[in-house]
Structure 1
Amino acid sequence: MKKRKLTDNLSLKIMSVAIAIVVWLIVVNIDNPVGTNYYTITDVELINKEYVESSDTIGKMCMPEENQDSVKVAITASKKVRDRIRLSDITAVADLQQAVSLDTDPVMVPITVTCLASGVLPSDIKVTPQNLTVNLDEKETQEFVVNVSKGDTKPGKDYEVGSLTASPEKIRITGPKTLVNKIDKVNATIALDGNTEDYTQEVNLTIYDKNQEALSESEMNSLRIENNAKVVVTAKLWKIRTGVKIAAGYVGTPAGGYQVGSVKTVPDTISVAGNTEGLESLSENDNMITIPADRIDISGESKDVERKISLKNLLPDNVKLTSDSSEDVWVTVSILPVGSQEFNLPTKNIEVKNKPDNLQVTFETAQIALRIKSESEDLEDLNINEDVKAEIDLKDKEAGNYKVPVKLSLPDGYEMVEDVYTEVVISPASVSDESK
C-alpha cells in the first residue's frame, strides 16, 4: 500500500482549516455579537474646582451651565460584556485642570467616562457631548438666616410645637457671585413623627432662589456651604390645654339713661399650648385670659360696643395659641336702656303661622335675644319660656332665606325695648326612597 505524505493535498487541507476558522468566527459572533449600549449619566462630577479658585490670574469660582443636566454614553462591546454592565458601573468626571483654556466664556472641560465592568476598554466608550460647559464668576460670600419648620409632620396627640431653633442660626455660603445673589432663603425642616418630648435632629439645608424654586444639584455642588450644608434643629414640644376662658372688662360710662347689660366674647374659650412653667402660671390665674379693661371704652355710648382684640400679647410667658386658633377675639358690650334686661328665647318656642305647603322651615339660630324693660315689675320674675309667646308669619313665602319680624306677647307690665327679627330657611321637604 502506498504511504501518504503530509504534503499530499496540501492546498485542500489549508482551505479546510481556513473554512473551519471562518465557521468558528461566525458561530462565535452569532452567539456573542458585538453591539452598542446607550446610557444617560445625570451626575457628571466636576473635579479640581480649586484649581480655578486658587489661581493667581483667575481667582474665580465655577458652576456648570444651566440646562446641561446629562450626557449620553455609548459602549460598544460583545454581548457577554455588555450584559455585565450596570449603570452604577459608569462614572463621568470633568477635570478643570484638563480644560484647553480658562480664558474662554464659557470654559469647555473634557468629560472622561470610565466603566468598571470587566472587558470594557477606554476605546469602547464614547460620550456626547464631549465637554462640560462651565461658567466662571467672581467669588462671593454671604450669610443667611436659617429658617426652620416642621413641614407637613406633627407631634403626638395633645402636643404642639412650642419653638423651633437651628444650630447654627445663620450659615455662611460662598460661591459664584451670580448664583449666591440668586439665593432668597435657606430652610431646615425637622421631621416629627408623633413625638411627645423635645426632639433634636440633624437635617440637610434646602436653598431656594428668588423664584421660590429649590437650587438644582449642580447649583448646590457649585456652592461651598458652612457645616457641609447641615444644621441641628431642636423642637420644643408643649402640652395643649383646652377650655381656657376669656374675660373682658371695659372703661367708661354709657350715655345718660343707659346701662351695661352684659359683656360677651366670641369665642368664650380657647385652646393654648405651653411648657410646664407656662401652664402652671395659667393655672394660678384660674385658666383665664383677661383682656385689659382699657382696650374697650364705652364712654357716652347708647348702643352695643363691639371690638376685635388680639390675644397675641396677652398670653403668659411660655404659652401660645394652638396652631388652629385665631389670635383675634370679638368682645361685645351690650348697652341697654336703664331698667331693661336681655333674655335669650329658644327659637323652638316660636310658633310658625301660615307655613307654606310641602315646604319645611328651619331657624338659622338656636335662640334670639330679647331686650325687655319694665317700670313696675321685677325683671328677675319673668320666665322667658313660659311667660313670653312668640310667632312669625310666613304668608306668601316661597322657598328661600328670609329675615322676618317676630311678634311677641308679654305679660302686663313688660314691654320690648326694640323690634326683634329672626332668620329662617324655607326649603322643599326631603323625600325618602321608601315614600317615592
Structure 2
Amino acid sequence: MKKNLTKNIPLKIMSVIVGILVWLIVVNVDNPIVTKGFVITDVQIINEAYVDQLGQMVMQDDRENSVRVYITGERKTVNRLTSSDIKAVADLQQAESIDTDPVMIPIVATCQGILPENIKVSPQNLSVHLEKKVTKEFAINVSSGDSKAAQGMEIASLTANPEKVRVTGPESLVGKIDGVSVDVSSKVDGIAQDTTITDAEMTITDKNQDTLSSNSMSYLKFDNNGKVNVTAKLWKVRSDIRISAGYTGEPAEGYTVDSVTTVPETFSVAGSEEALNNLKLQGNTIYLDNENVDISGKSNDVEKKINLAELLPEGLKLTSGSSEDLWITVNILPEGSKIYSFPTEDIKVKNLPDDLQMAFEVADVELKVQAEDGDLSKFNLKSVSASLSMDDWEEGSYEVPIKVNLPDGYKLLEKATAEIKVSKVSNADAENSQ
C-alpha cells in the first residue's frame, strides 16, 4: 500500500498544479477584473467651518457640476454598484492653499467593499471660490395674484410673519437680490374668513426680476429656514357708495355754477366693521374736501382728476379692480342758463336708407339752454324737438350734429352732438321688415 502512494510522485504534483491553473483560468474567464466609471453630481464639501471662521463662504465653480469615479474589481461586484453606492467628499482642510483663486480641494471617493487603491477620481480636485460672507435684511412682499375672496368679501391685507427676513450668503450673490416675496394666491382664493397660511415658501428675485436658481439658493441661509406665515384679513364689501364733491371760489362775473358731477357717480368699497358703520351713518356717501377744485374767475367748465383711494377714510379701501381715478367736473354757465338732458330716443332720424340701421351710442344728449330774459322757470323740455339727417349715410361710427328747435325766447349756448353707429341691416331684419 505504501508503495502505491509514493509511486509517480512528480506526475501527481504536476497534476495538482495543472488543476489549480485550470481553476484560476475558469474563475477569471467567468468573473474577470473590470473597471467601470460612475458620474457623481453631489460632491460633498466638508469642514466648511475651516473658512467660515475667517468670514468666508465656499462657492463651487459652475463649470464643474460633476466628477467621474472609476472603480476596479470583479465584474460581478462592480456591475452591482450604482452611483448612490459611492460617496465623494472634498475636505477643505486638505486644500493645498486657501489663498489661491480658485481653491483646489482634493476629492476622495469611497465605496463599501472596494479597497481605496481600486478607486480613482477624475478630476482629482474640486475647484471652488471663497467669497466674503455677508448678511442683509429684506422686507417680505406678499401677493395674492388674481385670487379673490368669497362673494361679498375683499382681501383687506396680507401680513407676513415675520415681515422681514435676514439672508446670509456670498457677497456677490446677496448683492444680486432685489426682493423677497411670498405668493399665497392658491391659498386665499375663495376664502370667507380671516385665514393664516403657515410655512409659505419665499421666492427670491434678482435685479433682472428673474427667480434665483435652486443652485444659487443652496448657498443662501434664511431666518426660519425660509418659511413664513401669512395672515389674510378680510373686509366686507359695500356697493353704490356715492360721492359728494364741491368747489371753492366763485366763477367770473356774469357766470354761475350749474352743477357738480363726478365720474364715476358711485363705486364700491371694502371696509372694517367700524368704518362701514360710520359710512352708513353718512348715508353711504363720501364727502370730499371742497379745496380739491378751485373755480375762482372761471367762465368755462372746470374738470380735475384726483386719486379717490387717497381720500377714503381710514378703514376703507377700493375693491380690487376698481380705478383709483375720479373726475370732478364743475359746470359753469352764463347766468340764466342751465344744462338739460334730452333723450336720444326722442330725436327724429331722417333720410336713413332702408338697407342701413342706426343706433345712438348714448341715452341722452346735453343741451345748454339760456333764456334771453334770464328766466328759465317756464322752460319745458317737452317743447323741444330734435332731428338728425345726413347727406351720405355709410357704415361706421360718427359724432354728428343734432338740429335742435327751441321755443321762442331761448337759445343754445353750444351746438348739440351725438355719437352714432351706422351698420347694414341683417338678413333676418330685412325679412322681418317685409
Do they superpose with TM above 0.5? yes
Deviation at 1:351, TM superposition (A): 2.1
SS of 2:277's partner is helix
The CA distance in 1 between the partners of 2:76 and 2:387, in whole Å, is 94
The CA distance in 2 between the partners of 1:204 and 1:248, in whole Å, is 46
Letter in 1 for 2:347: I
Q: Does 1:275 align with 2:272?
A: yes
Residue in structure 2 matching 1:284, options 281, 286, 292: 281
Deviations 1:339-374 (A, max 9, x none): 222121222322222324633323232221112233
Residue in structure 1 matching 2:388, options 392, 397, 411: 392
Deviation at 1:14, TM superposition (A): 9.9
Q: What TM-score do you get using the length of structure 2 for normalisation?
A: 0.80
Deviation at 1:395, TM superposition (A): 0.8
SS of 2:311's partner is coil
The CA distance in 1 between the partners of 2:385 and 2:122, in whole Å, is 91
- Give the equivalent residue in structure 2 for 1:142: 136
Deviation at 1:295, TM superposition (A): 0.9
The CA distance in 1 between the partners of 2:410 and 2:76, in whole Å, is 105
Residue in structure 2 matching 1:165, options 159, 171, 174: 159
Alignment of 1:346-425 (within 5 A): 346-356=343-353, 358-375=355-372, 379=376, 384=381, 386-425=382-421
SS of 1:196's partner is coil
Counting aligned pairs with the same residue, the percent is: 47
The CA distance in 1 between the partners of 2:403 and 2:29, in whole Å, is 108
The CA distance in 2 between the partners of 1:113 and 1:240, in whole Å, is 65
- Give the equivalent residue in structure 2 for 1:328: 325
Letter in 2 for 1:340: S
Letter in 2 for 1:107: V
Q: Does 1:178 align with 2:172?
A: yes
The CA distance in 1 between the partners of 2:213 and 2:234, in whole Å, is 33
Deviation at 1:99, TM superposition (A): 2.7
Letter in 1 for 2:395: A
Q: Does 1:109 align with 2:108?
A: no
Deviation at 1:162, TM superposition (A): 1.8
The CA distance in 2 between the partners of 1:137 and 1:249, in whole Å, is 63
The CA distance in 2 between the partners of 1:158 and 1:164, in whole Å, is 18
- Give the equivalent residue in structure 2 for 1:53: 52
Letter in 2 for 1:183: I
Distance 1:425 1:44, change over 3 A: farther
Q: Work out the number of aligned pairs and report it.
A: 420
Q: Does 1:263 align with 2:257?
A: no
Q: Does 1:219 align with 2:216?
A: yes
Distance 1:92 1:257, change over 3 A: farther
Contact 2:306 2:326 survives alignment (8 Å):
yes
SS of 2:51's partner is helix
Deviations 1:137-188 (A, max 9, x none): 2232333223332345443333333222333333333332222222222223
The CA distance in 2 between the partners of 1:80 and 1:182, in whole Å, is 48
Distance 1:208 1:352, change over 3 A: same
Residue in structure 2 matching 1:190, options 184, 190, 204: 184
Deviations 1:37-80 (A, max 9, x none): 86573x544332211122xxx54222123454455667788589
- Give the equivalent residue in structure 1 for 2:90: 94
Q: Does 1:427 align with 2:423?
A: yes
SS of 2:279's partner is helix
Deviations 1:84-111 (A, max 9, x none): 85x7666654332333332321112344
The CA distance in 2 between the partners of 1:236 and 1:256, in whole Å, is 53
The CA distance in 1 between the partners of 2:417 and 2:365, in whole Å, is 8
Deviation at 1:417, TM superposition (A): 2.3
Bigger shift: residues 299-308 or 104-113:
104-113
Letter in 1 for 2:204: I
SS of 1:313's partner is helix
The CA distance in 1 between the partners of 2:306 and 2:233, in whole Å, is 28
Alignment of 1:145-156 (within 5 A): 145-151=139-145, 153-156=147-150
Deviation at 1:407, TM superposition (A): 0.3
Question: Which 5+ residue runs of structure 1 have no aligned equivalent?
Answer: none
Contact 1:249 1:293 survives alignment (8 Å):
yes
Q: Does 1:235 align with 2:229?
A: no
Q: Does 1:65 align with 2:22?
A: no
Deviation at 1:406, TM superposition (A): 0.6
Residue in structure 1 matching 2:195, options 182, 196, 199: 199
Contact 2:243 2:285 survives alignment (8 Å):
yes
Question: Which 5+ residue runs of structure 2 have no aligned equivalent?
Answer: none
The CA distance in 2 between the partners of 1:119 and 1:236, in whole Å, is 60
Contact 2:160 2:228 survives alignment (8 Å):
yes
Q: Does 1:317 align with 2:314?
A: yes
CA RMSD of aligned residues (A): 3.8
Q: What TM-score do you get using the length of structure 1 for normalisation?
A: 0.80
Letter in 2 for 1:306: E
